[in-house]
Structure 1
Amino acid sequence: MDNYQRFLQVFNELERVIQHRLQVDAKNNLGALLRIAQQAHDQLITSHYQELDFLRNFRNILVHEGIQAEGEIATPSDYLIEKVETLTTKIREAKKIKALFRSQVISFKLTDNLHDVLQAVKKYGYTKFPVFAEDHLVGVVTDNGITKFMASQLQEDLISIKSVHLENILALDKRKDSFMVVNEETSIYDIDDIFMRKIKEGKSSFILLMSSDNHVDHPDDITGIITPWDMPEIIANL
């Protein structure tokens, strides 16, 4: 098999992989797939838009111009073929966040007290915890809320942290709603895009709560937490 045939073979496989990822039928060629990916805001595909569009154009010239010239108009190099194979593998095996960030999550109830939270901060080093009220998520208690509450109590000589419930802290925590629930099957590329957009909006403390079904009603529904502090690991896995 010469490089002309090898290139067409790996190009067709690339198209099949993208068709499978976007869950569309085989009649969609690479040009149509790129448009679908843009409309669907698929960050994995669109992040490689220039490379894919180049391959689309090259394939069309190779095939259509070659037919008109009654022969091969160009010979794809080994490097180009390997590039297509690498890109195909990257799209097929794109890492999902569950592979990197699935972990046990510490959460609290509205009736829990500040002492419990501070103990968790000391033990685990975390500064953000989901808070539940019976059967639903009410927010995330953060270091910002704790600091705000403590500052509001400065006029008191002494307060018992065991008597302060999270309901009092959440009432002052402006960042209690700075979170989003995401499916654990989400691509690492989409997570990178979410954080980059939030950072541009000035929401540097925004966090993501992972779930197996996009819904959180109970602490067990949360399968992991991703914060801006995880960006180095996210970038390393793109």
Structure 2
Amino acid sequence: MKTVKNQGQLLSERFEVAYNQVHDSLRNIVKINDDRFVVLVKVGAKKYQVIETFKKDLEQYARLRNAIVHEKMEVGFYIAEPNAKVVNHIEKIAGILSRPNYALTIASKKVVFFDDHDKILKVTEAIKEHGYSKFPIYKNKKCIGLLTSSSIVKWMSQNMENGLVNLADIRVSDIMKFEKDHPIDFVSKESNIFEVENIFEKFHSKKRKLECVIITENGSPEEKPLGVVTPWDLIEIDYTIE
């Protein structure tokens, strides 16, 4: 009987420790003046996919925590006890929030990019091979923007003769003149998922659509791209906990 009681106390203590870790992580991630747990969860879920994923669980854990802590009979004695499954789950959530993955873990690793002096036929071949529709373009080893397949089509429609278009001598720079501005940003390979989500959120708050975040060694547009994160990459993050 004593063993069961000690085990129950251990689960309750583990739950309280994990809950506090989650609370601290939410404060650091959400950064608002109101540090109430449920408010941090509600606000954070609107900005971060990972918090949205666990929103319902965290709200339930807040209620359970109130029952455990506020109805504690004495130090070390809990009137309510979570089961092992609940404790394991909140501990895993605490781990995810306190040690977020690097953005590079969700990025498209194979970045296909071109120099503005490359022939456009290299780009069309890449579209055929990879199915990509947007490519970072570099000039003098510095990223100057994105080239999209829609701009290639637009250029072709304006340079067609008798239903035909000759791309043999056309360079990327020729098409870039038709390209509109596509906002992009850069982060270092040490950046985490929350930092990248913050960048997208800042652009969104200014009513600008950020096309992608390019990851480089130190976050410089003059460095080789190591990965690319798009809004879809953030949406499709799998935070499923078994």
CA deviation after TM superposition for structure 1 residue 129, in Å: 1.6
* 2:36 aligned counterpart, secondary structure: helix
* 1:2 aligned counterpart, secondary structure: helix
Opposite residue 160 of structure 2, the aligned amino acid is L
Contact 1:188–1:237 (8 Å) recurs in 2:
no
Question: After alignment, is 157-166 or 2-11 more displaced?
Answer: 157-166
Which string of whole-angstrom CA distances, capped at 9 and with x for unpartnered residues, describes residues 9-62 of structure 1? 2331343366468669xxxxx8369649957x5553465344334323432332
Contact 2:185–2:212 (8 Å) recurs in 1:
yes
Opposite residue 193 of structure 2, the aligned amino acid is S
Correspondence 1:215 to 2:215: no
In 1, Cα distance between equivalents of 2:232 and 2:77:
55
Change (3 A) 1:50 1:127: closer
Change (3 A) 1:79 1:236: closer
* 2:170 aligned counterpart, secondary structure: coil
1:160-199 counterparts in 2 under 5 A?
160-174=166-180, 176-184=181-189, 185-187=191-193, 194=200
Change (3 A) 1:62 1:168: same
Contact 2:212–2:228 (8 Å) recurs in 1:
yes
Opposite residue 121 of structure 1, the aligned amino acid is I
In 2, Cα distance between equivalents of 1:50 and 1:8:
22
* 1:105 aligned counterpart, secondary structure: coil
Aligned residue among 200, 223, 228 for 1:225: 228
Contact 1:4–1:75 (8 Å) recurs in 2:
yes
* 1:121 aligned counterpart, secondary structure: helix
RMSD over aligned Cα atoms: 4.2
Taking structure 1 as the reference length, what is the TM-score of the superposition? 0.68
CA deviation after TM superposition for structure 1 residue 135, in Å: 4.6
Aligned residue among 104, 112, 117 for 1:106: 112
In 2, Cα distance between equivalents of 1:63 and 1:229:
40
Opposite residue 137 of structure 2, the aligned amino acid is V
In 1, Cα distance between equivalents of 2:19 and 2:112:
42
Change (3 A) 1:58 1:159: closer
Change (3 A) 1:74 1:23: closer
Change (3 A) 1:36 1:152: same
Correspondence 1:130 to 2:119: no
* 1:163 aligned counterpart, secondary structure: coil
CA deviation after TM superposition for structure 1 residue 191, in Å: 5.2
Change (3 A) 1:151 1:161: same
CA deviation after TM superposition for structure 1 residue 81, in Å: 2.2
Contact 1:18–1:33 (8 Å) recurs in 2:
no
CA deviation after TM superposition for structure 1 residue 147, in Å: 0.4
Question: Mind listing any 5+ residue stretches in structure 1 that lack a counterpart?
Answer: 25-29
In 2, Cα distance between equivalents of 1:42 and 1:231:
9
Contact 2:113–2:136 (8 Å) recurs in 1:
yes
